[in-house]
Copies of this chain bind each other. A is one copy, B any other.
Amino acid sequence: MSVVSDGMPRSFETAPERYRHWRLAVDGRVARLTLAVDEAGALTEGVPLKRNSYDLGVDIELRDVVQRLRFEHPEVGCVIVDSALSEVFCAGANIGMLARSSHPLKVNFCKLTNETRFEIEDATRAGQRWIAALSGTASGGGYELALACDRILLVDDRRAAVSLPELPLLAVLPGTGGLTRLVDKRAVRRDLADVFCTLEEGVRAPRALVEGLVDAIAKPSLFDELVQREVEAALAAAGPPPEADGVRLESLDPQVSEGELAYRHVTVSLSAESRTASITLRMPAKPNLLVGLRLARELDDAVLRLRFHYPELGLWLVRTQGDPTDVRALDAALGGASWFAREVRALLGRVLKRVENSARSSFALVEPGSCFSGTLLELALAADRVYMLRGVAQAPAFELSARNRGAYRMANGQTRLETRFTGHADRLNAVLDVPDGVPLDAERALALGLITEAPDAIDWDDSVRVAIEERASFSPDALTGLEASLRFPGPETLESKVFARLTAWQNWIFQRPNASGPDGALRAYGRPKRAKFDWKRT
């Protein structure tokens, strides 16, 4: 049932000692991350990763670095990203790989790379400021990687440029948020951004500085000095480091079999027949922050495997098991002021966003033995629907904690409770008035609007089964569009705009013959023939 084809990674785990494409050097409070792509190391056979171009394998390593810096090197206050090549920072996503990727692989690749870019911005906000040091040209996804950094420094050597050449060269959009970051994050004027995105060769240092495409420039002989000044400014802004060693990210190594992904605290049952995946989180007794970290990482890894390897399992059924007392203990620890508590909270927040950002339906099933409390309640609030068994003697645990009141924000900048009760301040306040740890039975949860349906024991099996079968029968594409529209009422942010507005347009363009057809620009790239376009504007 799983899809592990050409271009598809078998695992999303790695570690610095196994990196093929990045070099990480940590020196006190400064980390230097150098892109040195191994041309022969592509996931797709026969696609050389020239000029520091990347594929999913390169980005899986980047995701690993970003996470490890947060947990293993909390003392780091500044991350310099640079390149091992002299004239090229990064040429972006490899075109040969893109041209040979299926539509779902292209879309999933873009989504994961986008999520990692937001993790970089998240790190910067949390005190690890990322600086892109471009001593050579950054084009396409290479410039988009720089756009995700807090500062962009470009060498002024009359050659190095920044560019987003996707539209003129490939008839697609920059795939990792470049357009939105240009006008929304860097506030580049829309007409200048329009011109910039049509220039194959991009823009060199002096003009890039004037237009706001980069933050600072320097001649080659002064470039190291510029980087050094920026690092010092970043460290001064970051404040003192936490007085603690980091926490090593251990390997997860799930047991993968035909019907199951088994982690220590998370189990995923895979059913090809019903096209569903059942995700169960088990809360161990007396959990500490290390358990919270492991739980978050296991769920994250499971979500990525489900996205990439099991595309036909369109519905995720989310369950929890455990004693709510233990979740309360974990939530109390997560409320701590230490760097580690803050980092585990932040990771849990990102994992929850990854669940919502997945092109899968999700139903939370609240049954006896559940512990949808506090942090785990967020899984129910992130689901498209919540079914809770009504009228049993031992009611499933369903309760709030302080963590539901602001710790985990959605891509739209709001808490899940705020989003759920958009336009109904009275209903939101009624929920917020419920004290932490008060168990809510199904009637109360239904009345408060926290769950969708509450069948009793007689109806439960049929109600849930029908809902699941029906969901699994609908068009996968229409569900993706429906969920992208209903999950995010209220305001939009840079992040929600990238995953909705920009991504939706890109998905459309990826399907169009002008890009992906036999005569489309992605296929024609690098060959003598030119792309043939249907000129109709739509």
The interface of chain A, by Cβ under 8 A from chain B, is 103-104, 107-108, 166-168, 171-173, 179-180, 182-184, 186-187, 189-195, 197-198, 275, 311-314, 359-360, 383-386, 419-424, 449, 451-452, 470-471, 474-492, 497, 500-502, 504-509, 511-512, 514-515, 521, 531, 533-538
Report chain B residues within 8 Å CB of A492: 491-492, 497, 501
User: Quick one: which of B191, B421, B490, B534 contacts A189, CB cutoff 8 A?
Assistant: B421
Task: Give 12 new A-B contacts, CB below 8 A, not counting A104-B536, A186-B423, A187-B423.
Answer: A180-B485, A184-B423, A190-B486, A192-B452, A311-B536, A360-B537, A479-B537, A500-B500, A500-B504, A505-B507, A507-B538, A508-B511
User: Quick one: which of B167, B419, B489, B501 contacts A474, CB cutoff 8 A?
Assistant: B167
Write 18 A-B pairs (CB below 8 A) sorted by A numbering: A104-B538, A107-B538, A167-B474, A179-B482, A183-B422, A183-B485, A184-B423, A186-B423, A191-B420, A198-B474, A359-B537, A475-B515, A475-B531, A484-B501, A485-B501, A492-B501, A501-B501, A504-B508
Report chain B residues within 8 Å CB of A486: 179, 182-183, 190, 193-194, 197
A480 and B452 contact, CB distance less than 8 A: no
Please list the 3 inter-chain residue pairs (A to B) with the smallest Cβ-Cβ separation, ordered nearest first: A187-B423, A504-B504, A171-B475
User: Whole-angstrom distance from the CB of A200 to the nearest CB of chain B?
Assistant: 10
Report chain B residues within 8 Å CB of A480: 505, 509, 537-538
Report chain B residues within 8 Å CB of A187: 422-424, 489
Report chain B residues within 8 Å CB of A475: 167, 171, 509, 514-515, 521, 531, 533
User: Quick one: which of B183, B470, B477 contacts A198, CB cutoff 8 A?
Assistant: B470
User: Quick one: which of B194, B384, B482 contacts A384, CB cutoff 8 A?
Assistant: B194
Report chain B residues within 8 Å CB of A359: 537-538
Given A385-B194, A538-B107, the answer on whether A484 and B505 have CB atoms closer than 8 Å is yes
Report chain B residues within 8 Å CB of A173: 478, 481-482, 485
A193 to B452, CA, bound (A): 10
User: Whole-angstrom distance from the CB of A291 to the nearest CB of chain B?
Assistant: 29
A515 to B506, CA, bound (A): 19
User: Whole-angstrom distance from the CB of A93 to the nearest CB of chain B?
Assistant: 15
Report chain B residues within 8 Å CB of A311: 535-538
Closest chain B residue to A108 by CB distance? B538
Closest chain B residue to A501 by CB distance? B500
Closest chain B residue to A492 by CB distance? B492
Closest chain B residue to A177 by CB distance? B485
Closest chain B residue to A173 by CB distance? B481
User: Quick one: which of B184, B312, B501 contacts A422, CB cutoff 8 A?
Assistant: B184
A504 to B498, CA, bound (A): 12
A476 and B104 contact, CB distance less than 8 A: no
Report chain B residues within 8 Å CB of A360: 537
**Which of A166, A424, A478 has the most chain B CB atoms inside 10 A of its CB?**
A478
Report chain B residues within 8 Å CB of A506: 481
Given A385-B194, A474-B171, A474-B198, the answer on whether A508 and B534 have CB atoms closer than 8 Å is no
B476 and A538 contact, CB distance less than 8 A: yes
A478 and B191 contact, CB distance less than 8 A: no
B190 and A476 contact, CB distance less than 8 A: no
User: Whole-angstrom distance from the CB of A99 to the nearest CB of chain B?
Assistant: 15
User: Whole-angstrom distance from the CB of A307 to the nearest CB of chain B?
Assistant: 8
A311 to B535, CA, bound (A): 8
Report chain B residues within 8 Å CB of A386: 191
Closest chain B residue to A452 by CB distance? B191
B166 and A478 contact, CB distance less than 8 A: yes
User: Whole-angstrom distance from the CB of A408 to the nearest CB of chain B?
Assistant: 16
A515 to B508, CA, bound (A): 14
Closest chain B residue to A416 by CB distance? B190
Given A173-B485, A486-B193, A512-B511, the answer on whether A535 and B312 have CB atoms closer than 8 Å is yes
A217 to B512, CA, bound (A): 45
User: Whole-angstrom distance from the CB of A276 to the nearest CB of chain B?
Assistant: 11
